[in-house]
Amino acid sequence: MLLRQLTYLVTLSREQHFGRAAEKCNVSQPALSEAIRSLEQDLGVTVVQRSRRFEGFTADGQKVLVWARRILDDCAALRQEASDRESGPEGTLRLGAIPTVLSMVPLMTDTCLANFSRMNLEVYTLATSQILQSISNFQLDIGMTYLSDGRLKSFDTYPLFTERYVLIARDDTGLQGRSALSWEEVARLPLCLLTRNMQCRQGIDEAFTRAGVQPTPRVETDSMMVLYGHVRCSGLYSVVPHSALVLAEMRGEIVAIPIVPELQREIGLVTLHRDPQPPLLRSALTLFTSLDLQHRVDSFLRC
Is the confidence at residue 250, as pLDDT, over 60?
no
Average of per-residue pLDDT across 195-222: 96
Tell me the average pLDDT across 153-165: 95
- At position 237, the amino acid (one-letter code) is Y
Are residues 206 and 173 part of one domain? yes
pLDDT tens track for 169-181: 988 777 877 889 9
Confidence of residue 263 (pLDDT cuts 50, 70, 90): very high
Residue 59 clears pLDDT 60, i.e. is over it: yes
Dist CA 9 CA 66 (whole Å)? 10
**pLDDT band at 73; cut points 50, 70, 90:** confident
Asked whether residue 211 carries a pLDDT value surpassing 60, the answer given is yes
By the 8 A CB rule, do 147 and 267 touch?
yes
Whether residue 50 has pLDDT greater than 90: no
Average pLDDT for the chain: 89
pLDDT over 60 at 275, yes or no? yes
- How many residues comprise the chain? 303
271 and 155 in one domain?
Answer: yes
State whether 72 and 204 are in the same domain. no
Give buried/exposed letters for 118-152 (b at 16+ CB in 10 A, else e). Answer: ebebeeeebbbebbbebbeebbbbbbbbbbebeeb
97-118 pLDDT, tens digit each: 999 999 899 999 999 999 999 8
Q: Residues 59-77: what's their mean pLDDT?
A: 88
* CA distance linking residue 295 with residue 303, whole number of Å: 13
Cα separation, 209 vs 43, whole angstroms: 54
**C-alpha count within 13 angstroms, C-beta hemisphere, residue 240:** 34
Structure confidence at residue 289 as a pLDDT band (50, 70, 90): very high
Residues 174 and 49 grouped into a single domain: no
- Residue 84 counted as domain residue: no
pTM of the model: 0.80
Does residue 71 sit in the same domain as residue 194? Answer: no
Supply the range of the domain harboring residue 170. 162-265
Domain limit, last residue, from 48, 79, 110: 79
Number of domains in the chain: 3
CATH classification of the domain holding 194: 3.40.190.290
Tell me: the pLDDT tens digits for 292-303? 999 888 887 655
Same domain, 142 and 53: no
Sequential DSSP letters for 204-258: HHHHHHHTT-----SEEES-HHHHHHHHHHH--BEEEEGGGGGSHHHHHH-EEEE
The domain boundary, picked from 31, 61, 79, lies at 79
CATH of the domain at 63: 1.10.10.10
Sign of the alpha-carbon torsion through 109, 115, 117, 118: negative
